[in-house]
Amino acid sequence: MAIFEALADCRMTVSQFLLAPLTHQHYDKHPVTKDILLHSTDIIGTILVHPMRNPNIIQHLTKLAKNSYLKEICDVASMQGGWNFGVSTATTKQLDDFGLDDMACDFKAHAPGFGGFIGALLGQMQRGLLKQD
């Protein structure tokens, strides 16, 4: 194919071509960058089902998701998030004002990835697909 020949002539691999617009700010608004990002879920999904995929990809995606969820939790639980108080120093007013429903709404709004993950786990538990010890 002409594209592969052009890349070979430039001494560039396909992965180098894909990574360049994603790692250099200069290409942030470039149509190639926009196209890659627009179709990123299709690209990742296709890689995940490919029989020759990198065996470490699931662990890598899990690590990325974990880091993303931890950041969301830390952001919501920060002083600015309003849910940060020490149990040993909490006032009775803070304990009275604490609302699990309010906290759940805050997490849903400000930690959507983590909230979706917890929702999926709870849904699996309700369907009996995960063990509850």
Question: Where do the structural domains in the chain lie, given as residue ranges?
Answer: 1-49, 56-130
pLDDT on residue 38? 97
Please answer whether residues 33 and 21 qualify as being in contact, where contact means their C-beta atoms are separated by less than 8 angstroms: yes
DSSP 8-state class, residue 131:
-
The more confidently predicted of residues 79 and 45 is: 45
The answer on pLDDT for 133 being more than 60 is no
How many Cα neighbours within 13 Å face the side chain of 41? 1
State the residue for tokens 């998701």: 65
DSSP state of 83: -
Q: Are 83 and 76 in contact (CB under 8 A)?
A: yes
Asked whether 96 and 102 are in contact (CB, 8 A), the reply is no
Mean per-residue pLDDT over the chain, rounded: 84
